Amino acid sequence: MSQKQPLLITTGEPAGIGMDVVLLLAQEGKLQNLNRPIWVIADANAMQARAEQLLATGALKSCPTWQSITVTPSSMTDVNNADFDIANNAFLLLDVPCPAPVQAGYIDTKNAAMVAKQLEIAHQLATNETVAAIVTGPLQKSALIDADIKLLDGTMFSGHTEFFMQQSGCKKVVMMLANQAMKVALVTTHLALRDVPAAITADNVRQTVQIVLDDMQSKFGMASPRILVCGLNPHAGEGGHLGMEEIEIINPVLQEFIAAGVDISEAMPADTLFTTRHLSNCDAVIAMYHDQGLPVLKSHGFGDTVNLTLGLPYIRTSVDHGTALDLAGRGEASATSLYQALIMANEMADKSLTTS
Ligand SMILES: NC(=O)c1ccc[n+]([C@@H]2O[C@H](COP(=O)([O-])OP(=O)(O)OC[C@H]3O[C@@H](n4cnc5c(N)ncnc54)[C@H](O)[C@@H]3O)[C@@H](O)[C@H]2O)c1
Ligand SMILES: N[C@H](C(=O)O)[C@H](O)COP(=O)(O)O
């Protein structure tokens, strides 16, 4: 095996495009050019079936080769000692079987536990440093919720970000999405819009800014990042006439950072923050909620964007897209976001080797 630790891909929802994009990158030789072994968690039979489906569409010209190993909690030692023939295989497949048959494009909630299992294994392998980073494929949050799969604290499964945060014992992590045009970090993540205002607390804003500052340095090598912050309300509250969160909560916290010499703005109107003049003079934007920041970012590079979690004890990057059930097995899914997520994880892993 190569001396470098592997990058671990979870393929997520088996009915979605997670396995498709792995197979497409393998065909292009893009899993093999990263200089690290690639491990992939999936159902081995479903992976074989998806490859045959993609061969039938013509999207795959020939079937990539991979080596397979069965994974159970008791076989983790085998995984750690896997003798992976990297020269002749695109990836090592960690086989986690699905209890129900997999049909591309059609969710079966009986397979939701297998999706959660992928994340548990990934967390375990990243925590014990068997793998250098986790790169997640898309899962269908509603399938896990419908199957009554909960986060560690007993609340509804809301996403990878919250899952890895709780598994790692972190009180707070930050979702950031990044592409060539911008980096956007979020104060709140997968929360109903009506619950957002209550979650905009001084502690939440302060912890978000601190994690962004720390990880912009440790993960992107920026010692003094320039950060712009969105207000919560239209026109950043219009001087208090359209909401008081900016005056009472957000700006007092931002002023603490400004006083400490951090290059950060006070709350700005979100509609004009995302303009070229401002973006060209900043390294990261902090948005208050999911659909304040992510639509702008994705409209500037859906397919070339990486989702990453800041504040975790290990590296986790992800695709920018969902399960795309309409494209699964059809050979029409783009694998560029997975490739960008792998490149970013690889660079961060190399960087942590040189700085540790
Ligand atoms: N990383 C993740 O796990 C992740 C990310 C986003 C959404 N989701 C989940 O995915 C499910 C479906 O979400 P959605 O429909 O909002 O978003 P989606 O990204 O699955 O699909 C939105 C549109 O983009 C297209 N698309 C998506 N990925 C593509 C690709 N690789 N190449 C070409 N076209 C692509 C789809 O065909 C669809 O038209 C939801 O359960 C959502 O929570 C998961
Ligand atoms: N909010 C993410 C996005 O829009 O791409 C997506 O839902 C994935 O979130 P997790 O990485 O937490 O599953």
Mean pLDDT for 204-208 is 98
User: In this prediction, does ipTM exceed 0.95?
Assistant: yes
Angstrom distance (rounded) from CA 176 to CA 189: 10
Please return the burial class of 201, using the count of CB atoms within 10 Å of its CB with bins 0-12, 13-18 and 19+: middle
> Which residue, by CA, sits nearest to atom 6 of ligand 1?
322
pLDDT class for 73, splitting at 50, 70, 90? low
Q: Can you give the pLDDT at residue 78?
A: 60
> Tens of pLDDT along 292-305?
999 999 999 999 99
Is the same domain home to 337 and 351? yes
Pairing verdict, β 284-287 and 174-178: unpaired
Share of the chain above pLDDT 90, in %: 92
Q: Are residues 155 and 24 in the same domain?
A: yes
Domain of residue 52, CATH code = 3.40.718.10
Q: Are residues 104 and 194 in the same domain?
A: no
- Co-location of 112 and 145 in the same domain: yes
335 is in which domain, residue-wise? 1-170+312-356
- pLDDT higher than threshold 90 for residue 69: yes
Kindly report, residue by residue over 116-149, the tens digit of the pLDDT.
999 999 999 999 999 999 999 999 999 999 999 9
Q: How far is the CA of 159 from the centre of ligand 1 (A)?
A: 13
> Which amino acid residue places its CA nearest to atom 16 of ligand 1?
322
pLDDT at residue 2 in the model: 45
Question: Ligand 1 in contact with 175 (CB < 6 A)?
Answer: no
CA-closest residue to ligand 1 atom 44:
322
Supply the mean pLDDT for the chain.
95
Query: Which ligand gives the minimal distance to the CA of 137?
Result: 1
pLDDT digits (tens, 9 = 90+) for 229-250: 999 999 999 999 999 999 999 9
Q: Are 204 and 193 in contact (CB under 8 A)?
A: no
The residue among 296, 193, 288 whose CA lies nearest residue 237 is 288
- Provide the number of structural domains found in the chain: 2
Backbone angles phi, psi at 79, to 5 degrees: -65, -45
The reply to whether 8 and 139 lie within a common domain is yes
**Does any ligand 1 atom lie closer than 6 A to the CB of residue 22?**
no
Average pLDDT of 84-101?
A: 93
Residue minimizing CA distance to atom 11 of ligand 2 = 160
Same structural domain, 145 and 3: yes
Average pLDDT over residues 215-236: 96
Same domain, 116 and 210: no
Q: Which atom of ligand 1 is nearest to the CA of 21?
A: 31
